[in-house]
Amino acid sequence: MAKPKFRELDIAAKSYMEGLHFVSQHPMFAPLASHAQFVRREGNLCPENGWAVTTSTGHIHVHPKRRALSEEWIYILAHALLHLGFGHFQVKERQDLWNAACDCFIAKFLYDMKLGRPPAGDGRVELTAGSEEDLYLSFMERGLPSSFHNLGTAGHGYQDMILNPRTTGPSYWNNDNVNWQDCLGKGLTMAVTSAVNVTAGYEAYLGANQDVLTPALKARNWFISSYPLMGAMAADFKIIEDPVICNRLSISVAAVDAEAKEIYVNPAAGLDEQECRFVLAHEFLHVGLRHHARADGRDPYLWNVACDYVINQWLMEMGLGAFPRIGGLHDPDLKGMSAESIYDRIVNDIRLYRRVATFRGVGLGDILPPRVPDWWDRNDGLTLDEFYRSCLSNGLDYHYEQKRGLLPAGLVEEIRALSQPPILWDVELAKWFDHYFSPLEKVRTYSRISRRQSSTPDIPRPRWGPSAGDEDGRTFGVVLDTSGSMDTKLLGKALGAIASYSLSRDVPLVRVVFCDAAVYDQGYLAPEVIADRVSIKGRGGTILQPGIDLLEHAEDFPKNGPLLIITDGFCDRVKVHREHAFLIPKGQHLPFVPRGKVFRMD
């Protein structure tokens, strides 16, 4: 006997069922969907080129063969249900214009809600009327604009609302006593309640597997909703609970990757929600207090251990979560000490502290090393650094504003210290000049005699000045981006700073090169000339490499002379083989990671 052949579900039906399941489970639409009847069979009221129509009796007739993505079916079915929930089935003089007005409001509602995807167009609707009735009266006076055509689900030339429809066969579904507006009200209440529960961590996100809401995710959601000090950082970090990844990285409990904004929690550790709060707060403080950037050449593991002692002591004083049962680093004798002081203490007994275990494991730090060692000095690293500092700074202000309780004095001091504004760009540029151009020692010389005294006009007297030859080779090169995108104020500010610092550092001449799509060699200019009116050449495209090559290979330019490259950041990758620095506007980033310093002008 041959085995019976089972017919597989076609693609159109599969996508429709996925959309219907989502809408039926959505807290806002679930009460409406439970009372509506969805008709998807041959011979229903849906037009041939339509998607779905809704009747005043609560029947939603869906095209039985049309293919669409599940996101599109979500939009179509939600659109149909909202006709019932908004009470759109009213008798009007121009039923077609009333239907169009209702379609406009539903399209705008779903677009603002970001639910599903319309089958045609992006669903964007701009309305000036305050209600469907006002929009209907506007259509009656001025006609229906072309941009408001085909916003319904019935197809071109058809209305997707049908009053008093003809019967399409026997039906035992009685919707005569259903209050559709009341169903929508219940759905809105359920949606708000669900949103609060999701934020609090006691309910999974819509469409997510209920099993994924682990204690670590509940703890993370608790920080977002209830603990402003670390809420911003908790919202920006991704929690990874994959035992395979944790075993590969040798993570026994938890670790943090500040560069990737990821926190790894090993589910095999068996932490409960309170313990997860403690562990996550521990990792947040590692990043927020810039422990990775503050190592400053110290042994990474011992520095990590010192920071762990400080953080765990603070968290226990704050009563934040529960200290993990599997252990951690805590020593009451180290209370009140800074991480730097603890490090200086533990390096005297390296053998003992090499055997202690962080949350990652014995001999391993829970601050994962970055993929690129100097990522804190890169453009994006600086942005992350500022982000982490601002998270803790703003969180501290919210903590006190909402009177969330006392915090350890050491933690508050570190956050306040990290919240101080960074060094101004002109101060950093001055340090750069000091590095290459140390002050000249003046000597008594007769090469340029000083003004003679009136009492003894025949006696020449020496004056103080730099010794002969000290100014030789005391210069640097400037490659100035003179493309059309460079702001004139930016050029003036940069040239003014260069002239001022050159004069104060006894730099007699500066080699200047203008560069846009071509190179314009200006030769050596005195700082006084740069400070005066300078005629800029260029204002075309941006190609800086020829200007850099000119200075690097110029025979009249010292081999050890540094370069200062002034650009707005809209340039291609360049190669510089000598000491150099970039001067760019604040907020701009170079399309590459330079080896030299980067100063950002305000």
* 3-state SS assignment for residue 520: strand
Separation of alpha carbons 561 and 472, rounded Å:
11
Give 413's contacts (C-beta < 8 A, 6+ positions apart): none
Residue 505 confidence (pLDDT): 82
**Would you state the structure tokens that stand for residue 426, as one six-digit string?**
């002109």
pLDDT(112) > 80? yes
Residue 368 confidence (pLDDT): 87
Residue 531: pLDDT band with limits 50, 70, 90: confident
Q: What is the mean pLDDT of the chain?
A: 81
Mean pLDDT of 119-124: 78
User: Long-range contact list for 454-463, CB < 8 A, 24+ apart?
Assistant: none
Mean pLDDT of 210-233: 82
**Would you state the structure tokens that stand for residue 327, as one six-digit string?**
């252990």
Separation of alpha carbons 86 and 100, rounded Å:
14
Separation of alpha carbons 561 and 478, rounded Å:
10
**Helix 425-436 / helix 488-504 crossing angle, nearest 10 deg:** 40
pLDDT(185) > 70? yes
65-79, 124-138, 483-497: lowest mean pLDDT where? 483-497
Mean pLDDT of 71-83: 92
Separation of alpha carbons 59 and 22, rounded Å:
18
pLDDT(586) > 90? no
Q: Which of 234, 237, 268 is nearest to 251 (CA)?
A: 268
* 3-state SS assignment for residue 65: coil
Residue 469 confidence (pLDDT): 55
- Is 441 buried (19+), middle (13-18) or exposed (0-12) by CB count in 10 A? exposed
pLDDT(556) > 60? yes
Taking the alpha carbons of 538, 539, 544, 545 in that order, is the dihedral positive or negative?
negative
pLDDT(25) > 50? yes
CATH number of 469-601: 3.40.50.410
Q: For residue range 448-458, what is the model confidence (pLDDT) as tens digits?
A: 555 566 677 77
In this structure, how many other beta carbons lie within 10 angstroms of the beta carbon of residue 199?
Answer: 14
Residue 75: pLDDT band with limits 50, 70, 90: very high
* Range picked from 59-73, 422-436, 581-595 for highest mean pLDDT: 59-73
Per the CB < 8 A criterion, the answer to whether 357 and 327 are in contact is yes
pTM: 0.42
pLDDT(471) > 70? no
Sequence ranges of the domains in the chain: 11-187, 214-418, 469-601
Residue 346 confidence (pLDDT): 83
Please name the amino acid found at residue 449: I
Residue-by-residue DSSP string for 1-63: -PPPPPPPPPHHHHHHHHHHHHHHHSTTTHHHHHHSEEE-STT-SS-TT-SEEEETTSEEEE-
Q: For residue range 95-110, what is the model confidence (pLDDT) as tens digits?
A: 989 999 999 999 988 9
Q: For residue range 321-348, what is the model confidence (pLDDT) as tens digits?
A: 999 988 888 888 888 888 888 887 887 7
Per the CB < 8 A criterion, the answer to whether 328 and 361 are in contact is no
Mean pLDDT of 451-472: 66
Residue 588 confidence (pLDDT): 72
| Helical residues (DSSP H) of 323-468, grouped into ranges | 339-346, 350-353, 379-401, 409-418, 425-436
Residue 379 confidence (pLDDT): 47
Residue 172 confidence (pLDDT): 41
Residue 169 confidence (pLDDT): 46
Taking the alpha carbons of 496, 501, 506, 511 in that order, is the dihedral positive or negative?
negative
